Amino acid sequence: VCNYLPSSKEAKITTTADSKITDVEPTAESPLAALVFKTTADPYVGKLTYFRVYSGAIDSNSHIWNVNQNSAERIGQLFVLKGKNQEAVPKIGTGDIGAVAKLNITATGDTLGSQDKPVKVAPATFPEQIYSVAVHPRTKADLDKLGTALNRLTEEDLTLRVHRDVDTAETILSGLGDTQLDVAAEKMMRKFGVGVELTIPKVPYKETITRSAKAEYKHRKQSGGHGQYGHVLLELTPLSRDSGNEFASTVVGGAIPRNYIPAVEKGVNEAVKEGVLAGYPVVDVKATVYDGGFHPVDSSEICFKIAGAGAFKRGLADGQRANSGL
């Protein structure tokens, strides 16, 4: 090894573009620069952080600076790894790999250094996720621990990504392939005691219209005493893809008092959450209230809210509905 492999002094430390110090020699006298390349959840020690010291040295039971998080981090007992065993050491020097337990803010890809001479080492790059599954807990107990287990998994493996699909209300786990995600599910059961089922994610369908439509809805109710009355005429217009929904008012002459227009808009905003074709959210539609009627005694905000929602749903039915798997 000493005779035929290149010396570490011949290699340059690759720093990021925003590093305040860019020219660093891999020696013990240089400013501290240690890159965290792995994080695991050890069942006995807890969170275990692995790092390689590119320059300088780290002492046990000391304080260092997390350059990426711009915050101090307390270092406890340092370890060197020998297979499955962890051997305590007082110091990790230049070129060595070590581990430390229970760091609070440090994550994979962070650089540990000194506050007065911060060096930010370029971390490894990871491929983008190309395969996704929906994660469903098997029991109520698994549901309570699911979030913690998924967070630990994504800390250990940066090629995994977790997000919540607001349209389908599913927890989506993404990775590089089905084998990786199957192993992740097995690891959740083995290390964290969380049983899950992996399924194909639901398609977040959306509804829209393909042509303009006009609709009218009159909410009238009389049951003794004050009644309920709200009359709304809406025009629905299709918008371009990914434009979102819009609301406008062209009412003139006081057909609907101004203070009731926001109630109509609230009714429309509630109606867009559930379309009339298959119950999917409605997108890319402009709703314009252009006429209506009111009663000086029986009208109220709730009446126009109901009338606005009813007119919107009738307009969808007349606007040549179309399903769109967005």
Q: How far apart are CA 79 and CA 274, in angstroms?
A: 56
pLDDT at position 155, please? Answer: 87
Q: Which residue, among 55, 130, 126, 121, has the nearest Cα to 93 in the 3D structure? A: 55
Q: What percent of the chain has pLDDT over 70?
A: 95
Q: What stretches of the chain show up as alpha helix (H) in DSSP?
A: 140-156, 178-192, 261-271, 301-318
Contact yes or no for 292/307 (Cβ under 8 A): yes
List, edge to edge, every strand of the sheet that includes 246-249: 213-221, 228-238, 285-293, 246-249
Q: What percent of the chain has pLDDT over 90?
A: 60
Dihedrals φ, ψ of 103, to 5°?
-75, 145
Mean pLDDT of 176-202: 94
Tell me: the pLDDT tens digits for 22-70?
Answer: 888 888 888 899 999 999 887 677 789 999 999 899 999 999 999 999 9
Closest listed residue to residue 162, CA positions, set 195, 201, 189, 123 = 201
Structural domains of the chain sorted by starting position, each given as residue range(s) with its CATH number in brackets: 9-113 (2.40.30.10), 131-199 (3.30.70.870), 207-324 (3.30.230.10)
| Three-state DSSP class for residue 188 | helix
Higher-confidence position of 302 and 10: 302
Query: Quick one: DSSP state of residue 167?
Result: T
Backbone angles phi, psi at 106, to 5 degrees: -80, 135
User: Which residues 6+ apart lie within 8 Å of 66 measured at CB?
Assistant: 72, 73, 105, 106, 110, 111, 112
pLDDT digits (tens, 9 = 90+) for 100-133: 998 989 999 999 999 898 999 999 889 999 999 9
Check whether 2 has a pLDDT greater than 80: no
The pair of three-digit structure tokens given for residue 172, joined into one six-digit string: 């989506």
Q: Are the beta carbons of 58 and 28 closer than 8 angstroms?
A: no
Q: Could you report the per-residue pLDDT of 203-239, keeping only the tens digit for each?
A: 988 989 988 999 999 999 877 667 899 999 999 999 9
Answer yes or no: is pLDDT of 143 > 60.
yes
Confidence of residue 17 (pLDDT cuts 50, 70, 90): confident
Predicted confidence band of residue 276 (pLDDT cuts 50, 70, 90): confident
Smallest CA-to-CA distance from 194 within 147, 140, 154, 142 is with 142
- Which residues 6+ apart lie within 8 Å of 47 measured at CB? 39, 40, 41, 101, 102, 103, 155
pTM of the prediction? Answer: 0.69
- Tokens read off for 132: 């996704």
Query: What letter would DSSP give residue 109?
Result: T
As a whole number, the mean pLDDT across the chain is 89
Three-state DSSP state, 208: strand
